[in-house]
Structure 1
Amino acid sequence: MSLSAAQRREYRAIAHNLKPVILVGDKGLSEGLMQELDRALDDHELIKVKVATTDREARQEIISELCAQSGAELVQVIGKIAIIIRRAKKPNPKLSNLSH
């Protein structure tokens, strides 16, 4: 599922006011972090992830790995913040960032 330019623009606008819900530290991707990412994507669909590493290449690898393991699509990366999306099968209208 590749995102069109119009979809990316819409998702960026929605994500503008969101705070990062997942923080990836120097330890990288743990099993607990991946479980929390899955839960956040199931609940909110569109989330921000902050990758707190100073190495740009390592940060890009972590973001790619996050998307690959979770089945999420990368919307945008600005600095240490990545916006990712994964549509829920049954979105919860009270929690989803896309149903407002």
Structure 2
Amino acid sequence: MVEATQTILTGKQKRFLRALGSTLDPVVQIGKSGIIDTVIATAGQALAAREIIKVRVLQNSPEVPKTVIAALARATGAELVQVIGRNGLLYKKNEEKSKIELP
């Protein structure tokens, strides 16, 4: 489990991140196995490299998308920006080399 050093995003920052995320393709997919260690590791690496990722919950997943995406956000120490249908957007600032400048 990652140390919870999350920042609370303002409405303006969430709108900015949603605009960035609208063009992204899902990087992490959650299937029938749910959130397993490899999914957490993949999401963590993607967040470190990109700071913002889109997550998709596949049709064969028995989990409720909003619940499982929120659990993945907690497991990676990321901020849950939004969930629409089976897609979610996660953000985690890279303290060493930040690419996204929040408003």
TM-score, length of structure 2 as denominator length? 0.82
Alignment partner for residue 39 of structure 1, among 20, 45, 54?
Answer: 45
Question: Once structures 1 and 2 are overlaid, which stretch shifts more, 35-44 or 47-56?
Answer: 47-56
Aligned to 1:51: 57
- Alignment pair present for 1:29 and 2:35: yes
Aligned identity (percent) is 31
TM-score, length of structure 1 as denominator length? 0.84
Instruction: Give the aligned CA root-mean-square deviation in angstroms.
Output: 2.0
Alignment partner for residue 15 of structure 2, among 9, 12, 24?
Answer: 9
Alignment coverage as a number of residue pairs: 95
The one-character-per-residue Cα deviations of 1:1-35 (angstroms, maximum 9, x if unpaired) are: 21111001100111111101001101101111111
Shift of the alpha carbon at 1:56? 8.9
Between the aligned partners of 1:34 and 1:87, the Cα distance in structure 2 is 17
Higher helix share: 1
Any unmatched runs of 5+ in structure 1? none
Name the aligned partner's letter for residue 50 of structure 1. Answer: R
Dislocated runs of 4+, deviation >3 Å: 53-57
